Every structure is written in C-alpha cells, then in structure tokens.
C-alpha cells in the first residue's frame, strides 16, 4: 500500500510540473509603431545635432529598407529596384510561413536607423521595448521575422555605404574667398565653417545627378543701388526693420520662427556659448507626412509608402540645393547689411552656416509638398503641430503647396535669404519633386488621395 501511495504521489507531482502549452498570439504591427520609430529617429537627430543634409540621408535609407520588404509581399506596391540608383533586389526569406512582413520591415527600419545615428542606445531602448512585446506574443514568428528584417537591413546597409558619404567625411573644409566681395563668409555669432561643401558628391536616389535641376544664376552681384541685387538686399533690410518695429505682433515674425528649423542656433550668455536644439527642415516635412497619414487613417504599408516617397524627395532636394549653394557661393544678407547699410542690424533668425543661393527650405519644401500632393491629393488641409514641442503654436494650411510657399518666404522674413533664393528655390524643388513623382512607379496614388477628400 505504501509503495502504491509513493508511486501515486510521484505521478501527481509529475503531472503538476507539466505546464500548459503556450498559445501564440498574432503580432499586429500598426502605423503608430512606424510613427514611433520615425519620431525616435527625429528625437535622436536633434540630440546628436545632425546637419539638414545629413539628417535627410538618415531618414531615407531606413524607409527604403522597410518599404522593399513591404513591396515583396504586398502586390499594391512595386519595388524600387530599377527606379532608385544602384539598388539591388533584397534577399527573399528562406521560408514565408513564419514571416510577419510588417514586423520585418519595422525591424529593418530600426536597425538601419541605429546604424546612422550616434546615440544608438536611445534607439535600442525603443527597439528592446517592442521586441519584448512581440516575442512574448509569438516567439516563433518574432524570431523568423526579426532575422529577416536584420538580413534586409544588412543588404541595404551595403548599398548605403557606397553612396560616397564615407568619402566626404575626409574631404577638405570649405575655403572662404575673403578677397571676393560677393562670396560667402562665416556669419555671427559662431562664425562656423560652411557645412557639407561636398554634399553634391553624394549619390542621388532618384534624380540623375546633383546638377539635373540646376537653377538660373542669382542676380549679378552689385552694390549699385539701382541694381537688382542691391534692391533685393535692401528689401531684406526693410522687411527686417518693419518686423522689428512691429515686434511680437508681426505676422511675419511668427511665420519666420515657425519655419526656422535650424539645428545650429548658437546662444551666447556671458562667456559661454552653446547650441539650442531644433528639428531640421526635412524633419519638419517628415512631421507633416505623419500628420497627413494619421488624418487619412493610413495603415502601416500606406504610411511607409508616404514616408519613403517623401524622404527621397527631401534627400534629393538637399543634394540639388547644396550643389548650387557651393557653386554660386553667394554672400548672406547679414554680412552685406552690416558692412554697407547698418552695422547693428540683426536678422530675425540666426543665419545658417553655408552659402545663400538657393534657399534650402524653399527647395526641400517644394520637393516635399509636390510629393505629398501626389500621395494625399491637392487642397489637403491640415493643422501643423510639428513645432509645438519647441514652444511654437500650431498653424493651419489649406494645402501642402500653401505650406511650402509660407516655408519659402519665411526665409526672407527671417532676414537670411534674398527673394531670388526663395522664389527660384521653390521652383527648383517643385520641378525636382514632379520629376520624382513622374519617374517613380510605386503604387496607384489615387487610392490614398481619395481618402483625404
């Protein structure tokens, strides 16, 4: 009897030790997960203080990596292979049975983003929090999807590393031509060197070359008061004085500050100088892309499509603009006004550290607004709350094009650009954006555009 009871006890204990089999749940990836990854990249770029051109590159490669995974499994989207310079087909997964493609796409996005920023630990914090949730729901699918995402990130990373960016890190600094009165000179308060003078050597994504949308030259330099150039210089000064008189009540100053987006603002207090941190112009338009995607209830794939297409337009816009900046090498209004008109005059905005023509905000805004219009439709009204974290109120726009026009003219209101740089730059960006829209065959745009009406 005792032997029987002992055996029975052992059987009961063995039975009790058996755990219920884990029920694996489906892993759902939403557009908000993608927004979170993009927002984290923006946050880190502000912290790490990346220049506007470099920031545009950081946005674009992770988007392309994720998009190519989506295009592999979703028939509504077409691969960018053959459309984007030198891009090769991504590897296909060994087995499709346990792959969640949107999860793989998000893994690739976070992994490639991590490689492109400095503060990797900040990206890892977001990544690890998501990994924990996904793995807890379905370990099998998570592992397979994660491994595939990392495989694609490695593939896109190899392509990325051949875009001449590493080579430009070792190229010489820009040499200031102090003997030529028309050439750019460093501006106060930090008198920084010209940033990214070799950016035109970066491989474009969609445009044929950096000079494909070379704009007309700026007005001929002349300090003759009857010349077109001097009239534009005087206009910047007069607008600045008017804004100064109106103070905080000025509509122009509100516009200028809203679109400032200068990550290089230096603040001097006593003997100390430090930088305030803001988003770049490209990051502002990436924020507008998020606003439009949310307004249209775009799903993960639709949102990724919008981010990818817009970020390529922004990136190529910077390549095109920087090509002209260091070709024309035009002096900034602040320098000439202080030398010839009013030595105490200061612009509303701090002058960025690179040549004047054309306006980067204008080019990028023209390219981004044209691309977003192709995705979400014309007359797409939205409330832009992108600058709320920086203490600036929301602004409302009737369309992406209206927003671009305001972004462009904000540079003259801010005292850092002549009118020609603004107007020609906006046209340069719009032409580039339309070329990209016409060339890229990524999907049927009408479906998302119809959602915005």
CATH number of residue 260's parent domain = 1.10.606.20
User: Is residue 378 pLDDT above 60, yes or no?
Assistant: yes
CA distances from 291 to 52, 302, 335 (A): 21, 13, 38
Q: Are 205 and 85 in contact (CB under 8 A)?
A: yes
Model pLDDT, residue 172: 97
Asked which of 101, 136, 166 is the last residue of a domain, the reply is 166
Burial of 266 (0-12, 13-18, 19+ CB in 10 A): middle
Average pLDDT over residues 194-202: 98
Structural domain range at position 76: 31-166
Q: Are 100 and 141 in contact (CB under 8 A)?
A: yes
**447 and 300 housed in the same domain:** yes
- Binning pLDDT at 50, 70 and 90, where does residue 8 land? very low
* Local structure of residue 81 (DSSP, 8 states): B
pLDDT digit string, tens, across residues 41-75: 999 999 999 999 999 999 999 999 999 999 999 99
Average pLDDT over residues 148-173: 98
Model pLDDT, residue 452: 42
**351 and 267 housed in the same domain:** yes
pLDDT above 70 as % of the chain: 91
- Binning pLDDT at 50, 70 and 90, where does residue 247 land? confident
The answer as to whether 14 is a domain residue is no
Model pLDDT, residue 276: 72
User: Is residue 108 pLDDT above 80, yes or no?
Assistant: yes
Average pLDDT over residues 327-341: 98
Domain total of the chain: 2
The answer as to whether 148 is a domain residue is yes
Model pLDDT, residue 271: 58
- Binning pLDDT at 50, 70 and 90, where does residue 274 land? low
User: Is residue 296 pLDDT above 80, yes or no?
Assistant: yes
**140 and 286 housed in the same domain:** no
User: Is residue 223 pLDDT above 70, yes or no?
Assistant: yes
Which residues, including other chains, have CB under 8 Å from residue 385's CB and lie 6 or more apart? 291, 394
The answer as to whether 248 is a domain residue is yes
**228 and 345 housed in the same domain:** yes
pLDDT digit string, tens, across residues 201-215: 999 999 999 999 999
**180 and 129 housed in the same domain:** no
Model pLDDT, residue 268: 59
Average pLDDT over residues 119-138: 96
- Binning pLDDT at 50, 70 and 90, where does residue 278 land? confident
Q: CA angle, corner 153, sides to 149 and 159, nearest 5?
A: 150
Model pLDDT, residue 272: 61
**112 and 202 housed in the same domain:** no
Model pLDDT, residue 104: 98
Buried b (16+ CB within 10 A) or exposed e, 9-46: eeeeeeeeeeeeeeeeeebebebebbbbbbbbbbbbbb
Q: Are 210 and 163 in contact (CB under 8 A)?
A: no
- What is the DSSP track for 181-200? TTB----TTT-PPPS-TTGG
Which residues, including other chains, have CB under 8 Å from residue 161's CB and lie 6 or more apart? none
Which residues, including other chains, have CB under 8 Å from residue 16's CB and lie 6 or more apart? none
**301 and 418 housed in the same domain:** yes
The answer as to whether 189 is a domain residue is yes
The answer as to whether 144 is a domain residue is yes
User: Is residue 84 pLDDT above 60, yes or no?
Assistant: yes
**206 and 301 housed in the same domain:** yes
User: Is residue 237 pLDDT above 60, yes or no?
Assistant: yes
**288 and 413 housed in the same domain:** yes
Ramachandran angles phi, psi of 88, nearest 5°: -105, 155
Strands 382-384 and 395-397 turn out to be antiparallel
The answer as to whether 18 is a domain residue is no
Q: CA 295, CA 289: separation in Å to the nearest integer?
A: 10
pTM above 0.85, yes or no: yes
User: Is residue 425 pLDDT above 80, yes or no?
Assistant: yes
**139 and 184 housed in the same domain:** no
Average pLDDT over residues 185-203: 96
User: Is residue 275 pLDDT above 80, yes or no?
Assistant: no
Model pLDDT, residue 2: 45
Q: Choose the weakest-confidence range: 259-263, 286-290, 383-387, 401-405.
A: 259-263
Model pLDDT, residue 5: 44
Find how far residue 129's CA is from the centre of its chain. Answer: 24
Q: CA 163, CA 171: separation in Å to the nearest integer?
A: 15
Average pLDDT over residues 312-322: 98
The answer as to whether 211 is a domain residue is yes
Asked which of 138, 166, 194 is the last residue of a domain, the reply is 166
* 14/136: higher pLDDT: 136
The answer as to whether 6 is a domain residue is no
- Binning pLDDT at 50, 70 and 90, where does residue 270 land? low
Asked which of 119, 138, 166 is the last residue of a domain, the reply is 166
Mean pLDDT of the chain: 92
**254 and 356 housed in the same domain:** yes
Model pLDDT, residue 23: 64
Model pLDDT, residue 269: 60
Average pLDDT over residues 300-328: 98
- Binning pLDDT at 50, 70 and 90, where does residue 14 land? very low
**187 and 119 housed in the same domain:** no
User: Is residue 255 pLDDT above 50, yes or no?
Assistant: yes
* Local structure of residue 213 (DSSP, 8 states): T
Model pLDDT, residue 53: 98
């Amino acid at each position: 009897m005792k032997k029987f009871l002992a055996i029975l006890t052992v059987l009961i204990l063995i039975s009790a030790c058996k755990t219920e089999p884990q029920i694996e749940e489906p892993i759902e990836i939403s557009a908000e997960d993608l927004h979170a990854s993009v927002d984290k990249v923006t946050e880190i770029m502000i912290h790490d203080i990346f220049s506007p051109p470099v920031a545009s590159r950081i946005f674009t490669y992770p988007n392309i990596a994720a998009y190519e995974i989506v295009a592999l499994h979703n028939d509504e989207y077409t691969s960018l292979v053959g459309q984007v310079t030198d891009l090769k087909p991504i590897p296909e997964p060994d087995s499709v049975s346990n792959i969640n493609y949107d999860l793989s796409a998000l893994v690739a996005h976070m992994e490639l983003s991590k490689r492109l920023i400095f503060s990797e630990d900040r990206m890892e914090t977001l990544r690890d929090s998501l990994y924990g949730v996904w793995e807890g729901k379905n370990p099998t699918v998570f592992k397979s999807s994660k491994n595939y995402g990392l495989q694609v990130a490695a593939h896109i990373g190899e392509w990325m590393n051949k875009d001449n960016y590493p080579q430009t890190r070792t190229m010489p600094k820009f040499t200031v031509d102090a003997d030529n009165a028309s050439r750019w000179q460093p501006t106060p308060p930090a008198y920084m060197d010209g940033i990214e003078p070799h950016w035109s050597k970066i491989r474009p994504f969609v445009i044929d070359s950096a000079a494909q949308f070379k704009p007309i030259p700026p007005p001929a330099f002349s300090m003759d008061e009857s010349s077109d150039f001097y009239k534009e210089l005087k206009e910047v000064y007069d607008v600045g004085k008017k804004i100064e008189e109106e103070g905080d009540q000025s509509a122009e100053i509100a516009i200028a500050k809203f679109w400032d987006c200068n990550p290089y603002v230096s603040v001097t207090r006593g003997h100390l100088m430090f930088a305030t941190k803001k988003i770049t112009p490209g990051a502002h338009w990436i924020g507008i892309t998020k606003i439009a995607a949310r307004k249209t209830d775009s799903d993960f794939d639709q949102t990724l499509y919008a981010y990818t297409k817009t970020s390529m337009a922004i990136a190529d816009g910077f390549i095109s603009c920087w090509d002209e900046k260091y070709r024309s090498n035009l002096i900034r209004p602040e320098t000439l006004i202080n030398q010839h008109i009013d030595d105490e005059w200061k612009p509303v905005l701090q002058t960025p550290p690179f040549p004047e023509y054309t306006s980067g905000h204008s080019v990028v805004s023209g390219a981004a607004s044209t691309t977003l219009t192709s995705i979400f439709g014309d007359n797409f009204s939205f409330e832009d709350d992108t600058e709320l974290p920086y203490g600036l109120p929301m602004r409302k726009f009737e369309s992406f094009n209206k927003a671009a026009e305001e972004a462009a003219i904000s540079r003259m209101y801010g005292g850092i650009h002549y009118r020609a740089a603004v107007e020609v730059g906006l046209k340069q960006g719009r032409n580039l954006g339309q070329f990209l829209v016409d060339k890229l065959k990524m999907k049927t745009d009408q479906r998302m555009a119809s959602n915005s009406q």
